[in-house]
Amino acid sequence: MSRHTSSPDLTIVIPARKEEKAIIPTLELLRKHVATPHRVIVVNDQNDPNDQTADFVARYAKKRTNVSLIVYTSGRGQSGFSGAILEGIKHVTSGAVVFVMADMCDEPETIDVMYGKLLEGWDVVCASRYMRGGKKVGGPKLQGVLSTLVNDTLSCVTGIPTRDISNSFKLYRREVLESIPRRADMGVEYSMVMILSLYFSGARITEVPTVWHGRTKGSSKFSMQSRFPAYLSVYLWAIGESIKQRIRIW
C-alpha cells in the first residue's frame, strides 16, 4: 500500500524492519533537516508478524502526505535488506533516489549536499565517513576496524572514487539503477555490490563527507559473524573484477 502525492525529483527510501522505536524520530529528522523537496518511501519487510513498524508509519503518513508505506515479505531465511532496496526502486520512476537507514545513523543535512552534487552531473554521490570532513562516532570497535580496512583496500585496489564503499547512504540518479544486479537475497553488503557494479560499468561517482553516529534507538540488525562470509564474497569479487578490467585495458 502507498500514499503518493506529486513526484518531486528526490525520493528517500528507507528499508525498515522491526524499527518501531526509530522510524518516527527518523522521519521527523528528515522533515526538519532536508530542505530539498522530496518524498519518503518506507519499505517494511513484514517477515516478522510481531513487527509494528508499518502501523507506526501508516499513522504518520496520514499527517505527512509526502510519506508513503510499502509493505512486502522477503523470502524465508533472507535478510530482507536487498529485497527492500529493490522494492523501493520499483516505486521510483525518475529523478534521484537516496537510501537512508531507519535509525538515521547518518546526518540528514548531508542529503541536500548530495543532491547538489547530482545536479552538477554526477550519477552517484556517496556519503563518506572516511574522507576529509567525515567521521564515525560510536558503534562496535571491531566493526569499525574491519569497515576501515575493507574500504581502504577496495578503494586502493579498484580505484573507485570513494573511500566509503560499504556505507549504504548513497544518492543515485534513478536511471543508472536499471543496470545493478537484482539480488533479493542479500544483506547490507548489497550496497557494496550496487556501487561497485556501477563503477565497473562506467558510472560517474563522487563523494561528500558525512558524520555517522552509532545507533541509539532500537536494536541493530547487523551481525558481523553472520554477514562476514557475504562481505568476503563481495570483497573477493570486487578484486577479481578489478583485475579483469585491468587485463582488458592492457
- By C-alpha distance, which of 232, 158, 223, 248 is closest to 195? 158
Please report which confidence band the pLDDT of residue 245 belongs to, taking 50, 70 and 90 as the band edges: confident
Q: Which cell numbers hold the place of 230?
A: 557475504
Domain edges within the chain? 10-249
- pLDDT recorded at residue 218: 56
> 10-249 belongs to which CATH class?
alpha beta
Type of residue numbered 85: I
CA–CA distance, 100 with 169 (Å, rounded to integer): 6
- pLDDT recorded at residue 219: 57
Contact criterion met (CB below 8 Å) for 87 and 70 = yes
Please report which confidence band the pLDDT of residue 220 belongs to, taking 50, 70 and 90 as the band edges: low
- pLDDT recorded at residue 6: 40
CA–CA distance, 183 with 168 (Å, rounded to integer): 15
Judging by beta carbons within 10 Å of its beta carbon (0-12, 13-18, 19+), is residue 113 exposed, middle or buried? Answer: middle
pLDDT digits (tens, 9 = 90+) for 53-89: 999 999 999 999 999 999 988 765 455 799 999 999 9
Paired residues of 43 in beta bridges: 15, 70
Which range has the worst mean pLDDT, 2-11, 200-209, 233-242?
2-11
